[in-house]
Structure 1
């Protein structure tokens, strides 16, 4: 009995996702996204958790967004609770692209402060996309607990997430500007600068903020 062409294509794509060649995996993910098949969802999600190549992960994510959210979101919500950091990060990243607000309850404080930087960054991006109207101040308060975390790229990601919430972040930033930790103060000042002047650039904003913090410390010592 001859297998229907669509089944043959699906089997070929699933096999391609397991290939040792990243270009073959990329083409397989593209094929699945071009002709979505719900039987491929589990394999796409499984591959997201272990795929080493960024470009392939992005294509896997795109392929998942091409399927019905009613089929993908429940599976992705399971993944955000995985012990594997990459599984959590990729699931959150995909949820942010799908934009289904039914996923909001899964964006927990634990994920927003995850010890893994990529998971935390993905959670921040997902949170500002999925947050229900009226809950922005509460989300901003949780995100503010991460001020001062990590290096420049990490801090810029948090600043962008906070800025996406709009003016509701101002009272929280003002409070953070008086924090005992100079890194928190500088990050809060830089974020406020970026909110007011998006064209300023984060490097300039953070260096300017550090100078302000340093001047403040010198004044106190005097």
Structure 2
């Protein structure tokens, strides 16, 4: 059995250590015939460390081979396929993929997919498109638990000054959860060392006090 054939077989082993080694071998010796297998494995791989290695292996291949196939995965019915494709696109860094990160993906019902979409959009946004992206991201303020809210806050903060108009509008929103998240994001942008829990605590106190 040749090394490529052994690696392909290893990708489907029941042993995660074997899958990890096989993926590393593919990434070390990139060949475009592996791309489809790597992407398909991303959609079903249960082990985080192996998924990260799959992403690394894909980044070792030419974007011309990987990006179109990853973009196609964004329409998959499988949540992990969408999430992992977004994650891998963010690591490849080819801004030609940005238009494929639609408002639907940015508001995906699955929180892991949505979070992956936020990170990918911020990583790939072309110069000048930051304000429009900030407006879409702001529609998700108040969503989810702390981990999800922190992910969104980080994405907005990464957009720099483009986030300020939407945060200022969100601070006057009728929904107290949206106001609290917007206030916490603004606080975190000014004082990242304070941490998100402190920022949320301060925002909760301010919202509870109501209008001055």
TM-score, normalised by the number of residues in structure 1: 0.94
Q: Does 1:178 align with 2:186?
A: no
Structure 1, gaps ≥5 residues long: none
Separation of aligned partners in 2, 1:104 and 1:171: 22
Q: Does 1:21 align with 2:15?
A: yes
2:42 aligns with one of 25, 48, 72: 48
Alignment of 1:89-128 (within 5 A): 89-128=83-122
Secondary structure, counterpart of 2:143 in structure 1: coil
Deviation at 1:159, TM superposition (A): 0.3
- 1:123-155 CA-to-partner distances (Å, cap 9, x unmatched) read 000101111111100000000000000000000
Larger Rg: 1
Structure 1 stretch displaced more, 33-42 or 155-164 = 33-42
- 1:51-75 CA-to-partner distances (Å, cap 9, x unmatched) read 0111110000110001011100010
- 1:38-61 CA-to-partner distances (Å, cap 9, x unmatched) read 111100000000001111100001
Separation of aligned partners in 1, 2:107 and 2:121: 12
- 1:174-206 CA-to-partner distances (Å, cap 9, x unmatched) read 110111111111100000011111111001101
Alignment of 1:62-77 (within 5 A): 62-77=56-71
Separation of aligned partners in 2, 1:100 and 1:57: 20
Partner of 1:211: 205
TM-score, normalised by the number of residues in structure 2: 0.98
Q: Does 1:163 align with 2:157?
A: yes
Partner of 1:145: 139
Structure 2, gaps ≥5 residues long: none
Partner of 1:191: 185
Separation of aligned partners in 2, 1:203 and 1:37: 46
Partner of 2:29: 35
Deviation at 1:216, TM superposition (A): 1.1
Tell me the number of residue pairs that the alignment of Structure 1 and Structure 2 aligns: 212
Deviation at 1:212, TM superposition (A): 0.6
Separation of aligned partners in 1, 2:201 and 2:9: 50
